Structure 1
């Protein structure tokens, strides 16, 4: 669907407001006594009120982790999120693949400087000369991916596409993020070990770390709560409900993403990496600080499945996140400071990607208070019975059968002064009439109220049975008059 901007377009996120489901301390205390954790506790409650849905774990030097949960893992069944709910953690999966490669190096099965032609024969020279290090640090020159997020392909099809790939330039020392490179690493793990990718990481990584609810198909998900993913007002089901093969996700995401896990399992993984049972000290140094060093972007460097970032607090954070449009995951490890932050969410919401950094600010900048970053959006069955709802109804009536006089009266009564100053009355009438010609009368299918000042309408245009979307922004300083309008419809040309 193409987007047409009337005056100014907007991007709108969506979240359904739901109450807190849990507050947990590992030692059983329900209310942390540490003032920093008290600040975090109150802050997260505010984000919960702003529509955050998921589980958050914060560990500070004060003691046991604080775990907070909000929203629903399954709205239809009324199952709330809790510390053991399973989420799709997206590209955080890459750190497991990186650790698996280093484990194989510890076992004498490979070295990260090996060219992959040693393990996948018959490759063209430019592909065969790629090394494990280059795949791990996104410097192989491979594309972003070998297929779309929703395309389901087997390992054999992945290899076929890989063999036909043309690298535009020879591998360099510059990072160029690639799911494809990690998909190939997953294939290499299977070729070298003779084991399924998941079976290897379960035996050599997850089991020693005490991670019981992490994997693709190996865990018994029947005995776990696997969160549904929500975007806007739609339930997209469990991660494995679409885009998966019998043994796990499509190979467009296998070993690069799609892993399922919990906040408590990820914390167990963090603790395991502090010891030497899974990776020895030499391997962990290579895990976080591979040589030659590779700059990622900004002030970050590429580890093997991690980003190593010089933080604004003049400390180092080892981190990665994952996102697929519904689920969001963030994993921040300030190892020297004994601070760990894990954010897992199953509902798209503007601001989820900023939550972990605000939690870090709560710790490093105490008593400075963190900022609420989430945008609250409520899904409605009908237009609200207030000023916003009334103006929206007036707008839709205008599109259905408004005359020139109706448009001018609407502009005078219901359009904010900022828009009137920017455009002449005649220009506004022309734009609204143009929108009327495009949409006409509509049937409203879905309503989303955002920050109590933005309404998004998913509609069906009755004249052509085509779907469209409209967004109205209301100015609270002018009695909620309409300040901006955007329209997304089926046509290809823009208008103003």
Structure 2
């Protein structure tokens, strides 16, 4: 399996479909302390599937500091305030702070071209500025490496030199992991120290001689007990033993720490204890306008008061082959830091914080999940149900849950309609995916080469449906060679850059729980996933979505 990740961008837009991760162990009592209202709310969400740690502070004092759920199902270890999680793309907030630390020291300027600071750069990328890299407006597009594949410093520079610019620098926006790795390379060159050592020495230390974590893979490692991450399949994720070299993730996604440390570091950053007041203002000031009251800032996203009544900044990351998810928000008006981390996909941190953020930021009462699902004879529903148009919906049982897998474009459209995506949005994404697989860009040529090295020359590519999952638009394709057909999915940004890939993969699926009277609904306590109702009667399965009703009949 090959997986390449992008980060979650804004908690205001986070959402995810429910995954089939098998039966959950009994929820654990919390470890740590929260005020009564927060404890009751997070405990309720833990019973609904959340597993992770929470840290909420106001003016540096913790209102909630606790772990919920299981850090390791096999060992029976609970999450605690001292459990370490990979923070994924929240690493970019630290990289941005390190850049401003060097700006404060007079070592570089935001207007400096990357090529002047790192002479090994060649081609158009050499002309992009530090500020453009910080704001994802450089035009640098595509991937320079996969997370857990060895990539040396020189190999990273060579790969970045090969990447194309999607637009003239400074004229548009495209999220770029490679851009933040380039910043890490610049940090190393300008500081005269390794990127990791300089970060650990100058940006991670907190008052009291404590250090805000370290790195998930390699040294200096984040100290403390680690949560096992569980991936979408339910399998344990990567445990942090990858020997490296780590330049695929350095600068853009390599750090790990506790929720306590991330909240404390966020407070230190925005109250001017890590960089100068001028640099704090630069980090906090909305930069590139993303629309809908959102803007990119260096290492963060700014959300105005139209969303939740108060402006705030946020950063998020995770998912993929580690299985962790982390989200942090800073509310300047209250000097409030909110951190949620998770290690299971059923209710990831980003999805939970999207639900809770309006109450946490405004100070209103916290919402809690609805009643648990009703009992039902799920075994009687198991089988393959065929659509008249040729596709099928395979239904399996897992305890009191059903898992509905869609095979065929017609089945995906009927049962898993992407929420808030128009038909034209879907078609545009599918066109971009096909362009990648035809090798019409450097990213596409790389993807095609990688596939053919594993499976042989491609003879045909057929669309197999598009879904919205874990903040990715995923287009499934069946790729054929002379000897076999392989299902995979691709997520491609608006500029044609490949953000995430999984080949081979299973068909898209949706977990369902009974809602009474023979009906089932998505196993989604936040109610942010697909709007689907499934009803069984005799040998028929009726699927109703906002786009219509489809009847499928049991095969055999």
The reply to whether residue 272 of structure 1 matches residue 311 of structure 2 is no
Residues 272-313 of structure 1 deviation map (CA, whole Å, 9 limit, x = unaligned): 2244342011111112227xx311343112211011111323
CA distance in 1 between counterparts of 2:225 and 2:69 reads 14
Paired residues, number: 410
CA distance in 1 between counterparts of 2:510 and 2:66 reads 33
Match of 2:32 in 1: 24
CA distance in 2 between counterparts of 1:317 and 1:344 reads 18
How far did residue 328 of structure 1 move? 0.8
CA distance in 1 between counterparts of 2:277 and 2:19 reads 43
CA distance in 1 between counterparts of 2:125 and 2:506 reads 45
Q: TM-score, normalised by structure 2?
A: 0.65
Aligned partner of 2:257 among 257, 261, 277? 261
Going from structure 1 to structure 2, the CA distance change for 1:219 and 1:22 (only over 3 Å counts) comes to farther
Going from structure 1 to structure 2, the CA distance change for 1:206 and 1:376 (only over 3 Å counts) comes to farther
How far did residue 61 of structure 1 move? 6.9
Residues 142-175 of structure 1 deviation map (CA, whole Å, 9 limit, x = unaligned): 0142234444322211111122223232112432
Aligned partner of 2:337 among 317, 335, 340? 340
CA distance in 2 between counterparts of 1:46 and 1:57 reads 17
Match of 1:390 in 2: 380
Going from structure 1 to structure 2, the CA distance change for 1:124 and 1:332 (only over 3 Å counts) comes to same
Q: Contact conserved, 1:456 with 1:472, CA < 8 A, in 2? A: yes
- Say which is worse superposed, 475-484 or 67-76, in terms of deviation: 475-484
Q: Contact conserved, 1:94 with 1:255, CA < 8 A, in 2? A: yes
Q: TM-score, normalised by structure 1?
A: 0.72
CA distance in 1 between counterparts of 2:290 and 2:176 reads 12
Going from structure 1 to structure 2, the CA distance change for 1:205 and 1:351 (only over 3 Å counts) comes to closer
Structure ranking higher in strand proportion:
2
Give the unaligned 5+ runs of structure 2. Answer: 2-15, 408-483, 487-504, 520-534, 545-552
CA distance in 1 between counterparts of 2:232 and 2:161 reads 39
Aligned partner of 1:478 among 511, 514, 517? 517
How far did residue 107 of structure 1 move? 1.3
CA distance in 2 between counterparts of 1:122 and 1:238 reads 32
Structure ranking higher in helix proportion:
1
Where 2:356 maps in the other structure, the secondary structure is helix
Aligned partner of 1:178 among 176, 179, 182? 176
How far did residue 105 of structure 1 move? 1.2
Which of these two proteins has the greater Rg computed from alpha carbons? 1
CA distance in 2 between counterparts of 1:476 and 1:360 reads 27
CA distance in 1 between counterparts of 2:317 and 2:381 reads 39
How far did residue 245 of structure 1 move? 3.5
Q: Contact conserved, 2:294 with 2:304, CA < 8 A, in 1? A: yes
- Say which is worse superposed, 187-196 or 132-141, in terms of deviation: 187-196
Going from structure 1 to structure 2, the CA distance change for 1:167 and 1:361 (only over 3 Å counts) comes to closer
The reply to whether residue 92 of structure 1 matches residue 40 of structure 2 is no
The reply to whether residue 227 of structure 1 matches residue 223 of structure 2 is no
Q: Contact conserved, 1:135 with 1:181, CA < 8 A, in 2? A: yes
Q: Contact conserved, 2:206 with 2:265, CA < 8 A, in 1? A: no
How far did residue 435 of structure 1 move? 5.2
Structure number with greater CO (CA < 8 Å, separation at least 6) is 1
Q: Contact conserved, 1:319 with 1:331, CA < 8 A, in 2? A: yes
Where 1:191 maps in the other structure, the secondary structure is helix
Counting only pairs closer than 5 Å after superposition, residues 334-413 of structure 1 correspond to structure 2 as 334-350=331-347, 352-364=349-361, 367-372=364-369, 387-392=377-382, 395=383
